[in-house]
Every structure is written in C-alpha cells, then in structure tokens.
Amino acid sequence: MLALYRQILRAHRKQLPPPMRVLGDGYASLEFRQHLEGKTTQKQWREFGAEWSKYLGAIDPGGTAGGAANLSGQLSAETIANMSDEQRATLEKLRLEAMSFGTETTMEEDEK
C-alpha cells in the first residue's frame, strides 16, 4: 500500500496543476491514513487498493507520467449508481463548489 501511495503522489506531482495537486495530495493522505488507523478487513484493503489503482491509471495511464491524464471528472453511470445517497449528496456539493470556484475567481478579477 505504501508503494501505491507513493505512486499516487508522484503522479500528482507530474500530472496535476498546483491547485489540484494540493487537493489530491491532501485527500489521498487522509484516505490512506484513515485506512491505516482504522479496523480495515483484508477484503476492504483489496477493494481500497483496487480503487486507488484505478485512480492512478486514470491520472497517469502510461505510468510515471508516460501518458495523457484523464482529468475530465466524468463518472460512469455505473459508478454513480453504486454510490450511496450520502456519497451522491457529497458529489453534488463538490460539483457546486467547483462551479463556484471559477465564478469567484472571475468576480475577483472583475473587481480589480
């Protein structure tokens, strides 16, 4: 798991712009720490590793920045269908926050 975590941070450094890198590094760090400190079963570890490996493949398809990252943010219908109501609500909050981020930046520039 530690090797996977290092690969994710390396991919963030090479593939993501600074604001996304800070967000991605923080989220990955929190997730890995919570799973290390929590009572995680072997099955949960396998699922956790598989999902983070898929994520790594999406942001660094060629390995060590060898390919173009898929940073579209598009989730498949299957992924959304498998989410809990709480996860869908969180996703909607994130979407709204991301949309307002661009608007706030534009508004701040207009005020100058």
Q: What is the pTM of this model?
A: 0.61
Q: What angle do CA 71, 81, 92 make, to 5 degrees?
A: 60
70: pLDDT strictly greater than 90: no
Listed residue (70, 59, 63) closest to 27, CA to CA: 59
* Domain range list for the chain: 1-73, 75-112
Q: What percent of the chain has pLDDT over 90?
A: 35
Give me the mean pLDDT over the 40-45 stretch.
Answer: 90
Give dist(CA 63, CA 56) in Å, integer: 8
Taking the C-alpha atoms of residue 13 and residue 15, their distance in angstroms, rounded to an integer, is: 6
Contact call for residues 5 and 55 (beta carbons, < 8 A): no
